[in-house]
Amino acid sequence: MFTGGLLSAAVAAVAVWPAAAHADEYPSKPIKLIVPFAAGGGNDGIARTLGQLLSTSLKQPVVIENRPGAGGKLGVEIGLRAEPDGYTLTLISNSYSVNPSLYKLPFDPVHDMTPIGMIAKAPFFLSVNPGVPANSVQELIALAKQKPGELTYASSGTGGISHLAMELFLKTAGISMTHVPYKGSAPALTDTVSGQVNAMLTTAGSTLPYREDKRLKVLAVTLPERVSSATDIPTVREEGVPYDVTVWYGIIGPRGMPPAIQAKLNEAINAAVKQGEMADRLRTTGEESAPGSPEAFRDQIVKEIKLWSDVVRDAGVTVN
């Protein structure tokens, strides 16, 4: 007959055994990776490269499922409502930490997910049309102070990360510029290059070719450190403004995923992003590998939800 202590230990062992056994067998079938954006974009490209590498290391197919809609909210909701068994994962980016401040979400972005790990990070480039008489961040700030609100900046859309990141820069620098929102980054960049708009936070893949042929002036990068693809460009902090913004991509699962499966996926993702194939693919679009722990990824999300909430409130940003 079991004593009370032995009975409790036996019950605990029985409760833990199935989860441990399941983790040892994982994965035993294909894994679905939801991309909450349309095929062909930056998120999709990262997911497909990562999926190929994970398929090899985990010895099971990783199937990419594009579920665009509602600014990424639709795909995320589908992913978070799945069984927490490690067979449905979701790729997220900065919009995941922005959306709670702009929309009423049907899920809690922190408590309803299991963080797996970050994949990549990238900077924005603070870029201006060559006709703007400013060749440094401080010169741009001085010009904006001379002409409050007269300078314009483009974004990929109201409430998007390029919009909010620029609003954070303006607040930190103590200046004002007029926002010109577009339906996507491509038309926004086109009008910045042509001089219809003065400035924009641009991405590496689109920025550097225009910089090469002198159709854009790049004043600074928004990461805390200089980037390997353009080491001659200073950071915004180096230019005297205590500001940095990281564009990032990562993987989450539904709440309640077994810790052993979470750890196994994190190990596989970290190994994949360090591989030459993934690292090379990221560098071609100006991104860098960003391996790390689930805990560090959760902390990044929590920090940014608070950050963008403050920016949305202070700038009075609303979306339909």
Average confidence score pLDDT of the chain: 91
Mean of pLDDT values over 253-258 = 98
Does residue 131 share a domain with residue 117? no
Does residue 129 share a domain with residue 225? yes
Does residue 117 share a domain with residue 252? yes
163 has pLDDT over 90: yes
Q: What is the pLDDT of residue 282?
A: 83
Q: What is the pLDDT of residue 65?
A: 97
235 has pLDDT over 90: yes
Mean of pLDDT values over 164-192 = 96
Q: What is the pLDDT of residue 4?
A: 52
Between 197 and 68, the more confident residue is 197
Mean of pLDDT values over 86-114 = 96
Rounded Cα distance, 258 and 242, in Å: 40
Q: What is the pLDDT of residue 6?
A: 53
Domain's final residue, options 204, 230, 256: 230
Does residue 111 share a domain with residue 134? no
Q: What is the pLDDT of residue 101?
A: 95
Q: What is the pLDDT of residue 229?
A: 79
Q: Whole-model pTM above 0.85?
A: yes
Assign residue 205 the CATH number of its domain.
3.40.190.10
Q: Is residue 241 assigned to a domain?
A: no
Mean of pLDDT values over 21-33 = 87
167 has pLDDT over 80: yes
Does residue 254 share a domain with residue 115? yes
Mean of pLDDT values over 132-158 = 96
Rounded Cα distance, 230 and 234, in Å: 9
Q: Is residue 117 assigned to a domain?
A: yes
pLDDT in tens, 265-315: 999 999 999 988 888 888 777 788 999 999 999 999 999 999 999 999 999
Q: Is residue 1 assigned to a domain?
A: no
7 has pLDDT over 80: no
Does residue 252 share a domain with residue 115? yes
Does residue 259 share a domain with residue 213? no
5 has pLDDT over 60: no
Does residue 131 share a domain with residue 110? no
Domain range for residue 70? 23-121+247-315
201 has pLDDT over 90: yes
Does residue 146 share a domain with residue 116? no
Q: Prior bond to 27 cis, omega within 30?
A: yes
Mean of pLDDT values over 242-258 = 97
1 has pLDDT over 50: no
Q: Is residue 107 assigned to a domain?
A: yes
Domain's final residue, options 178, 196, 230: 230
pLDDT grade for 17, boundaries at 50, 70 and 90: very low
Start-to-end Cα distance in the chain: 66
Mean of pLDDT values over 255-259 = 98
Mean of pLDDT values over 150-163 = 95
Rounded Cα distance, 227 and 18, in Å: 46
180 has pLDDT over 50: yes
Q: Is residue 16 assigned to a domain?
A: no
23 has pLDDT over 90: no
3-class SS string, the chain: CCCHHHHHHHHHHHHHHHHHHHHHHCCCCCEEEEECCCCCCHHHHHHHHHHHHHHHHHCCCEEEEECCCHHHHHHHHHHHCCCCCCCEEEEEECHHHHHHHHCCCCCCCCCCEEEEEEEEEECCEEEECCCCCCCCHHHHHHHHHHCCCCCEEEECCCCCHHHHHHHHHHHHHCCCCEEEECCCHHHHHHHHHHCCCCEEEECHHHHHHHHHCCCCEEEEECCCCCCHHHCCCCECCCCCCCCCCCEEEEEEEECCCCHHHHHHHHHHHHHHHHCHHHHHHHHHCCCEECCCCHHHHHHHHHHHHHHHHHHHHHHCCCCC
Does residue 113 share a domain with residue 28? yes
Q: Is residue 7 assigned to a domain?
A: no
Domain's final residue, options 230, 255, 289: 230
Contact 153, 198 (CB under 8 A): yes
**2 backbone φψ class: left, alpha, beta (φ>0; ψ -120 to 50):** beta
Structural domains of the chain, count: 2
Does residue 42 share a domain with residue 108? yes
Q: Which residue has the tokens 């797996």?
A: 116
Residue 18, Cβ neighbours under 10 Å: how many? 10
Mean of pLDDT values over 205-227 = 92
Does residue 113 share a domain with residue 33? yes
Assign residue 307 the CATH number of its domain.
3.40.190.150
Rounded Cα distance, 287 and 282, in Å: 5
